[in-house]
Amino acid sequence: NRRVYNFNYHFDRYVFLPVVRGWKAVVPRFARVGIHNFFNNFRDARTLVNSILQLSPSKTIQSTGRVLVNSTVGIFGFIDVATDAGIPRPVEDFGQTLGHWGASPGPYLVLPILGPSNLRDGLGLIPDLYVLTELQREVLTTPVRRVIWLFDAVDTRAYLPFRYYETGSAFEYETLRWMYGVKRELDIAK
């Protein structure tokens, strides 16, 4: 885990963050916000599937409303009309669904490029990616789908304020490990 954490630091510093800085320098803010909203619309669809699997009617209704409103009035999600209309945005993934049904987190993992995780959440990425891939296959053309993962990764990293080895803690790895565990427990409990 520590070696992967160190790899992630170097990848982040020498590849990801320079690309993000270039992205912010080249793409105007309104376009970046629209692209972020577009990807969030797909994430809302993932939340919808997981809300159904968790048998959570309120989150299912909220996610359905968000996807319907943003996909239509919001022009495929580029405009976040649902938030302006006061529809809450729950965030659910398959790791949370497994946790909801009692699956233990298992050992802590640091995934290459993706960062902190655990066995349950790492395995939960597989159905989540499947859902996103199938949705994109239905909505996007093949050439667009080929580059969408790159834009999604850059967009996601642009909205994460965390920077490796900038916490000022001598025990950053241990602190991050603890924080990740607590955050995921809170995510499942909500």
**Which residue type, as a one-letter code, is found at position 27?**
V
Residue of 164, 161, 180, 168 whose CA lies nearest to 20: 161
C-alpha distance from residue 72 to each of 7, 41, 81 (Å): 41, 11, 9
Residue entry with tokens 């009309």: 81
What is the predicted pLDDT for the residue at 170?
A: 86
Find the mean pLDDT for residues 65-89: 96
Both tokens of residue 112? Answer: 């290459």
What does the pLDDT look like over 92-106, one tens digit per residue?
999 999 999 999 999
22-54 per-position pLDDT tens digit: 999 999 999 999 999 999 999 999 999 999 999
